[in-house]
């Protein structure tokens, strides 16, 4: 969640000029400036490429659109460099650098998978099972 938000005047609070947030992946505070918008990026917790490989390629266009834009389950504002390091990786390949957030991330990933009927790879299952012993 963005705090200390400054909106562009005349936009009915629809355009954010600046604000601050705590990045869940790193735990770092990020100062957002619209002129440097890459500092905050929107991550697909369950990556689009992985979803495609695991079955989204057979979904209807409407379901793919809903998945890609699902702000309640799959989209998360994060630090740009952390999102870049994650790329299309799944939990078997990448976990947030902030250990305090890993359990929440694992739960969010599984919630998306279950909600959309997406399978979890063996590598992801192993990583998530190992992580669950520490949650």
Q: For residue 7, what pLDDT is reported?
A: 95
pLDDT in tens, 20-47: 999 999 999 998 888 777 788 999 999 9
Residue 128: name the closest of 78, 85, 94 by CA. Answer: 94
The confidence score (pLDDT) of residue 35 equals: 79
Q: Which helix (H) or strand (E) holds 86?
A: helix 80-86
Residue numbers of the chain with a pLDDT score lower than 50:
none
**Locate tokens 């440097």: which residue?**
36
């Amino acid at each position: 969640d963005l705090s200390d938000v400054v909106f562009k005047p005349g936009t009915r609070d629809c355009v954010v000029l600046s604000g601050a947030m705590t990045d869940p992946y790193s735990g770092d505070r990020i100062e957002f400036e619209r002129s440097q918008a890459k500092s905050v990026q929107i991550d697909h917790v369950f990556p689009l490429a992985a979803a495609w490989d695991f079955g989204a390629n057979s979904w209807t266009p409407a379901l793919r659109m809903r998945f890609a834009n699902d702000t309640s389950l799959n989209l998360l504002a994060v630090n740009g460099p952390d999102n870049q390091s994650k790329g299309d990786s799944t939990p078997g390949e990448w976990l947030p650098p902030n250990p305090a957030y890993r359990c929440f991330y694992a739960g969010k990933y599984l919630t998306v998978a279950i909600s959309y009927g997406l399978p979890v790879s063996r590598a992801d299952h192993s990583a998530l099972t190992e992580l669950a012993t520490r949650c």
